Every structure is written in C-alpha cells, then in structure tokens.
Amino acid sequence: MFSMYDVIAKKRDGGVLSEEEIRFLIDGYTAGDIPDYQIAAWLMAVYLRGMNDAETAALTDAMLHSGDIVDLSRFGHLSADKHSTGGVGDKTTFIVAPLAAVLGCKTAKMSGRGLGHTGGTIDKLEAIPGYRVTLTEAQFRTQVEEIGVSVIGATGDIAPADKLLYALRDVTATVDSLPLIASSIMSKKLAAGTASIVLDVTVGSGAFMKTVSDARALAQAMVDIGVHAGKNITAVLTDMDQPLGRTVGNALELEEAITFLRGDDTGLDDLREVSLTLAAHMAANVHGISPDDAYRQAYDAWRSGAAYEKFVEWITAQGGDRTWIEDFSTHAAASVQRTVCAVQDGFLVRADAEQIGLAAMQLGAGRRTKEDGIDMTAGIRLLRKVGEPVRRGDPLAVLYTADAHLADAAEARFLSAVTIGEVRPAPISHILGIVRGEEET
Ligand code: URA
C-alpha cells in the first residue's frame, strides 16, 4: 500500500513514479478515497516536474481503465475517430465525419462540450432542432453500421478519472502540461474503442500549444501512446493562430459547414485544406492507401455532393430537422447584429483566435462555467481574414447576440484581438506538419 503523501513528495522532488504508484492514485481518486487537495498538489508537481514516456503511458492506461471501453470490434480495422486538441471556429467534424464515411470509414465519434474560448462539437450539434446527442451504445453501433457515421456526447462512463482530473486541472492552473494533456486525450480516445485515430493538433494563439515545436512534441507523445496500444494513428498539426473558417458560434458554424458541404468554399481555403487533409488521413489509415490518393478521393467525395448527402443522412438519423439543414431562412436570428469596422487602411495581420473565441463567449456563444447556458444564435462572422486588404470603414466582422451591452464588451475585445498593418503578411500554411505512427514490432 502506498502513501499519497510519499507519491506527491517523490514527484515534487523530480522522481519517476512507478506504474503501481500511478494506478494507486488514479484508482484511489476515482473511488473517492484520495481527496482533491492531495491530487491538486500532485498535479502541480507533475506540471512543474513533468513525466517521462513510461509515466505518461501508465497514467493514460490507469485513466482508460477507470471506466468502460466501447466495443467496436465488429467493425474490425474500419472504425475511425478524429479528435481536435481544441480551437476556435473548429467545425471540421461536420465535414470530416461524413466525408470519412463516404470513403468507407466507420466513423464512431464521441465529442465534448465547449469551455472558455473553445467551442464544443456537441453544443454545436444541439443547434439543430431534434438532434439527439445521447444514444445507447447499441444504437450508436447500429447507426455506425448502417450509415457509417454517428457523433454523440461522451458518456460519464468513459474515462471517469479524466473527468475528475480535468475539472481539478481547470481550477488549479494545471491544464497546459504536455503529459497531462496527452494522457487526458488518449485515455478517452482509447476508451472510445476505434481501431484508427486521427488527431488534429492545433497550433497558435487559440490552441494549447503556441509553437509548432511544442505541438509536435504533444503530437509525438499521443502518437506513441496510440501505437503502443495497437492503434493506427496519425497527428496533423494545423494552424489555429486565427479562427478556422469565417464563423465562430454554434448555429453560425453549422451553417458554414453545410454551405461548404454543398460545394461552396468561397473564402474557406483553411477549412477546406484542414477538413480534406483530416478525412484523407482517416481513409489512408483505414485502407492502407497513400494520403495523397486518399486526399483526391476526399476531394471528389466533397465536390460530388456525396459528403453533403451523407451529412443529411447522419443528422436526420439522429433526429435532426432536415428543414433546418436545407433552409437557413427558418433559423432563429440574433436580435442584435453589430458590424465592427476597420479604423485604418492596410492588411489584416493578426486575428487572435483565443481573444476572438472569448469575444464570442461574451456574446453568449460559449460558457464560462459548466453551468452556463448557451445562445445558439450568438457568435461572430469574420468578414476579413489575416492577409486580406482593408480600407478604413470597411466591415471587419459582424457580432451576433441577444443584448446590446454584451455587444459593447465583445466589440472592444474583438478590436483588441485584431491588428491592421501596412505590409501584407506572408501567406499562412494551414497544415504545419504530420506525425504518423509506425506499427511497433
Ligand atoms: N482536451 C482534453 O480532452 N484534455 C486536455 O487535457 C486538453 C484538451
């Protein structure tokens, strides 16, 4: 029997914890035998001292086995999941999930809710009247079998230790630690049970990882864990220095994804490149084909409208209203729509994703605490992206909200999040790197 005091002290002094010590603390915390204050002290020790690969793998394994593991064995190597480390305006799941299904993947995805500046796929899906984010495991499997895609909210039985730890990290300033992020994400992904995993590791102002080298290290740590667990896994590093696409906010993002799926990618180069690349790597992993061939197939599946038809099939199978998808004029509209204009001529050189995400949250699109409600119509439409020219007085963005006071505060934040300069910035790469897992022998 270990003592939690000794485990904390060992990590505080830079020691390496054994698999047994890590299992002891995760099992004890999940069972309610170890109090928050001791786990909080241990988290801070990990934050400051780090963990080596073996410790990170042991932590992942302990959290993975703290709850249920979804059985998707009936799909063999075809089951596939995609996960983002978090972003602003990230609506790729609505595009990637049906695209991958058209390419023959069995896309079985459990998603989360948004907190702080990042949005959550499950919140966004709830903008569609009737969409059921909760299915039984049997219903989930049947839909994946019949349609090739289902997206539901993660149940409380998946990696419950991570839920407890994440809530504690959130209030103890210990979220952005590489081993803690890697083990948190991978414990959930392994518990979700797919044979193949594609990770979208975001980089920049709106991401946990601010530099490509930090993101690459996180990607490598997660890929190593996945390979060790026998998964077919790839991480794609993508730009999150400015929001993805031109909308931030629940219904607005779905409208943008639907417009894109119908074939219109005007001004959406970043959304197209990131979505097609993620879907291509899913198909490449599942079918063992080259990512370039898979990309061409993904492009065709998008241009032909097959992915849009699959999206409609998926959403309506989960109870979502077809009219809402087909006719945007039926959507509720925000009562306050505030246009924010440029104060000088030049080029947009910065659009800070985190600050714009926080401005959208202030408008009502996100939640500050887990108890907050969400205004599905609130958000921001970006009329200029980084690199585009602007003239003084040109509209930069439209803010959507239910309350003019909220618009005042969000407008000030939005203006501080953008910079107009005289020199056009260098073009942005949307894909910043790929980390592929090699089968361990
Ligand atoms: N997303 C997670 O699920 N966990 C983290 O620690 C960070 C992002």
> Which of 113, 170, 181 to mutate to test ligand 1, by most ligand atoms within 8 A of the CB atom?
181
Indicate the CATH number for domain 4-50: 1.20.970.10
Say whether 60 sits in a helix, a strand or coil.
Answer: helix
The continuous run of DSSP H or E covering 43 comes out as: helix 36-49
Q: Annotated catalytic, 381?
A: no
Distance between CA 410 and CA 363 in Å, rounded? 6
Judging by beta carbons within 10 Å of its beta carbon (0-12, 13-18, 19+), is residue 79 exposed, middle or buried?
buried
Distance between CA 113 and CA 125 in Å, rounded? 10
- Cα(374) to ligand 1 centroid in Å equals 21
- Cα(347) to ligand 1 centroid in Å equals 34
Pairing assessment for the beta strands 247-248 and 149-153 based on DSSP bridges: unpaired
The single residue of 11, 83, 189, 381 carrying the catalytic annotation is 83
Q: Whose CA is nearest to atom 2 of ligand 1?
A: 185
pLDDT for 440 equals 46
Q: Annotated catalytic, 196?
A: no
Residue by residue, pLDDT tens for the chain (441 residues) are 899 999 999 999 999 999 999 999 999 999 999 999 999 999 999 999 999 999 999 999 999 999 999 999 999 999 999 999 989 999 999 999 999 999 999 999 999 887 778 889 999 999 999 999 999 999 999 999 999 999 999 877 899 999 999 889 988 999 889 999 999 999 999 999 999 999 999 999 999 999 999 999 999 999 999 999 999 999 999 999 999 999 999 999 999 999 999 999 999 999 999 999 999 999 999 999 999 999 999 999 999 999 999 999 999 999 999 999 999 999 999 999 999 999 999 999 999 999 999 999 999 999 877 778 899 999 999 999 999 999 999 999 999 999 999 999 999 999 999 999 999 999 999 999 999 987 543
Distance between CA 435 and CA 417 in Å, rounded? 31
Amino acid sitting at position 58 = A
- Cα(410) to ligand 1 centroid in Å equals 26
- Cα(336) to ligand 1 centroid in Å equals 33
Ranges assigned E (strand) in 273-316: none
- Cα(77) to ligand 1 centroid in Å equals 26
Domain extents in the chain: 4-50, 73-161+189-326+431-440, 332-421
Q: Annotated catalytic, 370?
A: no
Backbone φ/ψ region at 71: left (φ over 0), alpha (ψ -120 to 50), beta: beta
Ranges assigned E (strand) in 305-417: 336-341, 346-351, 379-382, 389-390, 395-401
pLDDT (tens digit per residue) in 232-271: 999 999 999 999 999 999 999 999 999 999 999 999 999 9
Distance between CA 400 and CA 379 in Å, rounded? 5
The single residue of 11, 109, 188, 281 carrying the catalytic annotation is 188
Pairing assessment for the beta strands 247-248 and 389-390 based on DSSP bridges: unpaired
CATH architecture of 73-161+189-326+431-440: 3-Layer(aba) Sandwich (3.40)
The single residue of 23, 117, 169, 384 carrying the catalytic annotation is 169
Three-point CA angle 430, 432, 438, nearest 5°:
130
Check: CB of residue 360 under 8 Å from CB of residue 411.
no
Q: Which residue has the tokens 């996945």?
A: 226
pLDDT for 46 equals 98
Looking from the CA of residue 181, the nearest atom of ligand 1 is 6
Ligand 1: lining residues by beta carbon, under 6 Å: 85-86, 166, 175, 180-181, 184-185
pLDDT for 441 equals 39
Of the candidates 110, 131, 129, 130, the residue with the CA atom closest to the CA atom of residue 120: 110
CATH, domain 332-421, list 3.40.50.450, 3.90.1170.30, 3.40.50.300, 3.10.180.10: 3.90.1170.30
